[in-house]
Amino acid sequence: MKRAAEIPRQVLLSALNDQDAQLLHTWRQDPAVVDGTLGYPFPTSLEAERDWIRSFMPRGTPTDLCFGIRGSIDGPLQGYAQLRGIDWLARCAEFGVVIGNPDARGWGLGKATVQAMVGYAFGNLRLQRLWLRVASF
């Protein structure tokens, strides 16, 4: 387990890139990560991860955005956060966050990510409403 000093205290939202695909692929094979999300309940290939990352590269007006969660511009990927189904007319979207690094859980990174994403969604994108799905477990 990492020491508290090694866990980022601030969140930088960054674009995901092909170099992140291997780590994302590893997380999606981890039952602790998969069971804690509403994502794919089955294994994926490394190439599928790369395709998933590329699907968020805007072509026109995006309806889905995904950001890597890092502590600094060159820091390691800790997880990812999404805005899905963005309705630009109604100014709303679904929000999701995954802290994939098991050592980074329980240190406030999720809370910092929510604050950063809400600030980005309401400030930069001018959305007016966000929602998220929560599993009862």
* Per-residue pLDDT reduced to its tens digit, 102-114: 888 888 898 999 9
β-pairing verdict for 12-14 and 129-131 = unpaired
Q: Over the stretch 4-47, which tens digit does the pLDDT of each residue have? A: 445 556 889 999 988 899 999 888 888 777 776 656 667 788 99
d(CA 106, CA 4): 10
Cβ distance 95 to 117 under 8 Å? yes
Closest CA to 80 of 135, 6, 16: 16
Prediction pTM value: 0.84
Contacts of residue 65, defined as CB under 8 A and 6 or more positions apart, other chains included, come to 56, 82, 83, 86
